[in-house]
Amino acid sequence: MGIIFGTGLFEVMFIIVFVFVIGTFVAAAVRGVSTWNKNNHSPRLTVRATVVSKRMDVRHQHHAHAGDVTGTHGYYGTSATDYFATFQVESGDRMELAVAGSEYGMLVEGDEGNLTFQGTRYLSFIRF
């Protein structure tokens, strides 16, 4: 009886974890597609704005070397960086937009210019 109960409990837990993981992926995909669709249906706007701040979000992942299940032969890591700039428009409202690394390097806090965006999608910033 204990073995059957233990096996049943394992199967139930496995299904719960599996459904949770798949549900998380599906929710993330739906959110991404929803944001993409909303941005595509938003008007492209160009407004006068000032760059008020910039930030980076660096993510690191550590991996065991291929074939090393013991972890005794060291790890290697990968990283990814997301770049963001906060703009203040003439009304005083602020918006943080994700920007490409090449754009991030060109933006300087205090720069004034014309910001073009579509929904939450950064398109360009042309300095005065």
> Sign of the C-alpha dihedral, residues 8, 13, 18, 24?
positive
pLDDT in tens, the chain (128 residues): 445 555 678 888 889 999 999 999 999 999 989 889 999 999 999 999 999 999 999 998 876 666 665 555 666 778 899 999 999 999 999 999 999 999 999 999 999 999 999 999 999 999 99
88 contact partners, CB below 8 Å, separation of at least 6: 49, 50, 52, 94
User: For position 11, what pLDDT does the model report?
Assistant: 85
pTM of the complete model: 0.71
User: For position 71, what pLDDT does the model report?
Assistant: 55
